Structure 1
């Protein structure tokens, strides 16, 4: 293996690889947040499928080293194991929305494909160019995202940079609505920049300028997870350069800079300057520790304890969360556990989660000696950042995290095959150039088309999601008109319509069936006035009271909206519910409608 990434190869295959690398590693992170199967799975399924197809086309290289190692088989087998469990759940659990399960299977297939392609390109003729392309793609995307975050911090109109229409999207950080995701994107960009700098591919002054931009962008997110990641990256790089004091200084520069920038932004916010989200997170840390996450983890552990062997079912966390009454303790509704290992256990059961994680740990342990190489170091810090993210979020159902992570994992199992053991160049290299050029060109077109359509989807999605977000400048009727105009997500516009649909004796049963079906994967459908009224209309007053009690606890007693809804209704039980809302004392848990809709009786009893 060469000592540094070769980014100067002028050949056409190398240039195409850089283009594919940018589309695959860079552009997806700029599409924006909102890409989970539970809400935006149409766009996410397209991204996963399109990017995986692009990756597979460009990754099929001729190579003399075609024997797959055991580590590769174990890594792919881990995702195949999850796929088999998902199929078993499909037939064993009541599937009110089977398309969600199909998307999950597509995800797992593409994840295994990305692992295989990572091995293929690391064992092929252009391994150096592929790793350089990955690093360059992360750097370009990271710098663009950092500029977007910085512009927002200084309240500069940056619509020319922002792919996501942030003016309609509520809380935003650069291209996304989640600071931890944005912080991770920027840290991955810092990794690419650091690796290129340590291997001499960029000048020292450019390293200082670009790293300062990335670090400032990381600081503006206020993400505590991002701080942990930048410390991990810098300290790992310092260890990698431990025999070169200049390299150690350059590696520790981002850690020193983040401390300086964070302190400066904090002091500015305290003196009446620009608002700094990190100040809020600091206050939360000192008063609450990890806050709602620790409560959610505790409740998730309780969920796992109730179904330890087979779990509650993939994509069913919101259902389990409601069914267990976890919102009373946590204080908010949760769509996932904010911890990947716990999520795997609650979805698939504790034994399978342990086996899956052990298989991946086995792969990493078997290839640990490669971490001392430039390619291995890139993989080590990349996977380390995602591992840190995984303990505070649930990132692997996002195309921009899932597929690159699997590619990096697979690349650890490969060996360069551009030269034979005797040092003679691989005779298949020149023969494969024409075929690779055709495939790589097709891959670029597929990737560009995928991301172009995804950007269109993203705008539709951001026209829809504000319907769920109170307190925005637009009125609710305006947001519903926006939802009606969306092209890709008309199906999801049906959920917010439930919020304004009047519940009558004639439609109460149908309304409740729709709300319950949606509630199996989107618990917000359960916490709305119409659901409470429909339950009461159907004579299930105990269930209506149970939901009102959860709402009372989660809102700190702010139930005026529900009081108005009950007062305006003609329910026979209206007086009873109104009296309860005046004094919402604890009531026994009642979830019969939910159980009957989402789970077979054998699982609940």
Structure 2
């Protein structure tokens, strides 16, 4: 191939990878019963397409072995819904692809620039969207961006303030990385940092505030190893955040609404609900310490366990990564992962500003401290308070950082079979994700009509419409939980179908143990006369949703089932 054509092809590949990775963070639409699902599927597809365009390097065989074992554990879980298992396995495949991308960034500096520019551009666009949302200036842009319900809310295209703030903080680190590589001028860097810190301040995220502080602390720690301007940027971004946090409440009052910054939210928080959530998670771990409750079974475990205090309402995450893994996979696997992570920290020598290749030789000037910084923000800070790794985007960013920090693998051209096998693993994972993601997109499009029932008081008309929609979406097996959920809500429970309702509701407890599921279960148990099971589930229902027995008492309910529960079920009588 002529040299000029080869250069053009490489430029096109890199431009396409940049476009895919930027678009991955900008999907604006949220429809159906699972609003974030389409954005996650779109993000998954774009991230993998970008990885294929940029190219992936070879990983150590142990990495693929670990991914395979993790996928086997997820496949073996007790969760009855196949789509839930496949989502977790897709995450493992994406993590492997991201590690391969991260390894390739070490081999070709130009690829590193493509990745960093894509993240900075996506973060900057999200910050601009967040500020437009905060000032209620979206206007006609509502077709291309999310619009919050009230002013003073900023979350960009991520629809959650902490995820938004964390992504902007990762954008801050990537901006600093570009300055370190001398690919961004200091004046342009200050402009980007000012924009991103204003977005973090507008989010009102305490997690974002903590992450900016961490970046400043890292700047002080690496002061001697970094260029002076870079150290000034790392410390100065904290001062910029403080300035924006002081100015935004004033701007809010001038525009006629109230706004509490991350600093203000920290000051207002006396006893965070996370403490109750963590105590609940510890109780669940003690119930099943060895093998856990199963992948994505934390909501079912919380519903199924009587404990005090109890976090009321729906909750599908422990807001702490080690606790989440221990609840769902058990203490042995969690401890093994923890020991492996600590060993990786020790071998990686994160306190050094140079890297080590396979033979222990120093690789100065790689900027590896910024890859460590990304892991500190996503895994070390956010994952201890929230659940960013359940988002494909943050899983990808973490994987790229891990792959970048791994020792470089020496490739022997003579080992063609081994080299071909490693390449086939990467491409096979990418092909599987693209196929499964495309199928999920198509099936969700078929599923969406079940969430668009006519706005009418005619119950029969609603049921007729829903029956037709369910029949058309019956082959959407990836979303069997959503189909079962809609089917349950469409039942008119009577003695002829009570047993069928019971079995379906008991299965749906693994999907979402909310009142819409539990109340039909209680009614079916009452009709079938299984009063022991009624006491069991009634006790757990009243523990999780104490407002229901209170409502029954206020209304003086004469329903035989609720009267029985108010008299004979522990948490309903108190």
Structure having greater relative contact order (Cα 8 Å, sep ≥ 6)? 1
Structure 1 residues 211 and 283, CA gap change in structure 2 (3 angstroms): closer
Residue in structure 2 matching 1:86, options 63, 66, 74:
74
Cα separation, 1, equivalents of 2:258 and 2:531: 45
Counterparts of residues 171-250 of structure 1 (less than 5 Å)? 173-242=155-224, 244-250=227-233
Q: Structure 1: which 5+ runs fail to align?
A: 1-9, 419-425, 427-438, 468-472, 587-605
Q: 1:381 maps to which residue?
A: 373
Which SS does the other structure have where 1:160 is aligned? helix
Cα separation, 1, equivalents of 2:458 and 2:196: 37
Q: 2:422 maps to which residue?
A: none
CA contact (8 A) 2:466 2:490 kept: no
Cα separation, 2, equivalents of 1:111 and 1:73: 15
Structure 1 residues 582 and 323, CA gap change in structure 2 (3 angstroms): closer
Residue in structure 2 matching 1:122, options 88, 105, 115:
105
Q: 2:508 maps to which residue?
A: 518
CA contact (8 A) 1:194 1:251 kept: yes
Aligned CA RMSD, in angstroms, stands at 4.8
Measured after TM superposition, the shift of residue 547 of structure 1 is 5.2
Measured after TM superposition, the shift of residue 210 of structure 1 is 2.1
CA contact (8 A) 2:45 2:434 kept: no
Cα separation, 2, equivalents of 1:535 and 1:107: 38
Q: 1:312 maps to which residue?
A: 293
Cα separation, 2, equivalents of 1:239 and 1:162: 45
Measured after TM superposition, the shift of residue 474 of structure 1 is 12
Residue in structure 2 matching 1:132, options 72, 97, 113:
113
Measured after TM superposition, the shift of residue 532 of structure 1 is 3.0
Cα separation, 1, equivalents of 2:444 and 2:245: 31
Structure 1 residues 583 and 515, CA gap change in structure 2 (3 angstroms): closer
State which drifts further: 243-252 or 52-61. 52-61
Measured after TM superposition, the shift of residue 295 of structure 1 is 1.2
Structure 1 residues 365 and 80, CA gap change in structure 2 (3 angstroms): farther
Q: 2:360 maps to which residue?
A: none
Structure 1 residues 414 and 520, CA gap change in structure 2 (3 angstroms): same
Q: 2:84 maps to which residue?
A: 100
Structure 1 residues 159 and 340, CA gap change in structure 2 (3 angstroms): farther
Measured after TM superposition, the shift of residue 301 of structure 1 is 1.4
Q: 1:504 maps to which residue?
A: 494
Structure 1 residues 399 and 159, CA gap change in structure 2 (3 angstroms): farther
Q: Structure 2: which 5+ runs fail to align?
A: 1-5, 355-364, 414-425
Structure 1 residues 451 and 159, CA gap change in structure 2 (3 angstroms): farther
CA contact (8 A) 1:164 1:175 kept: yes
Cα separation, 1, equivalents of 2:520 and 2:164: 36
Counterparts of residues 5-16 of structure 1 (less than 5 Å)? 11-12=7-8, 15-16=11-12
Q: 2:573 maps to which residue?
A: 585
Whether 1:255 aligns to 2:243 is no
Q: 2:359 maps to which residue?
A: none
Which SS does the other structure have where 1:115 is aligned? helix
Cα separation, 2, equivalents of 1:252 and 1:479: 59
CA contact (8 A) 2:90 2:433 kept: no
Structure 1 residues 536 and 553, CA gap change in structure 2 (3 angstroms): same
Q: 2:326 maps to which residue?
A: 345
Aligned length: 533
Cα separation, 1, equivalents of 2:494 and 2:74: 39
Deviations 1:125-169 (A, max 9, x none): xx2112111111111111111111111111122563775654699
Deviations 1:502-535 (A, max 9, x none): 3322322222222221211322266653333233
Measured after TM superposition, the shift of residue 79 of structure 1 is 3.0
Which SS does the other structure have where 2:367 is aligned? helix
Structure 1 residues 223 and 540, CA gap change in structure 2 (3 angstroms): farther
Q: 1:399 maps to which residue?
A: 392
Structure 1 residues 363 and 275, CA gap change in structure 2 (3 angstroms): same
State which drifts further: 499-508 or 305-314. 499-508
Residue in structure 2 matching 1:30, options 12, 26, 29:
26
CA contact (8 A) 1:80 1:112 kept: no
Counterparts of residues 555-574 of structure 1 (less than 5 Å)? 557=547, 567=557, 572-574=560-562
Cα separation, 2, equivalents of 1:482 and 1:143: 42
CA contact (8 A) 2:549 2:566 kept: no
Measured after TM superposition, the shift of residue 50 of structure 1 is 6.4
Q: 2:522 maps to which residue?
A: 532
Structure 1 residues 43 and 250, CA gap change in structure 2 (3 angstroms): closer
CA contact (8 A) 2:21 2:50 kept: no
Q: 2:416 maps to which residue?
A: none
Deviations 1:232-269 (A, max 9, x none): 22332344343644332222121111112123334555
Instruction: Please give the TM-score of this superposition, normalised by the length of structure 1.
Output: 0.73
CA contact (8 A) 1:47 1:451 kept: no
CA contact (8 A) 2:281 2:323 kept: yes
Deviations 1:99-131 (A, max 9, x none): 322332232233223323432x1353xx21121
Which SS does the other structure have where 1:333 is aligned? coil
Q: 2:141 maps to which residue?
A: 160
CA contact (8 A) 1:563 1:581 kept: no
Deviations 1:360-380 (A, max 9, x none): 333343233664434312311
CA contact (8 A) 2:41 2:437 kept: no
Cα separation, 2, equivalents of 1:172 and 1:464: 30
Cα separation, 2, equivalents of 1:103 and 1:450: 9
Cα separation, 2, equivalents of 1:231 and 1:398: 24
Deviations 1:476-495 (A, max 9, x none): 99999899699889752652
Q: 1:298 maps to which residue?
A: 279
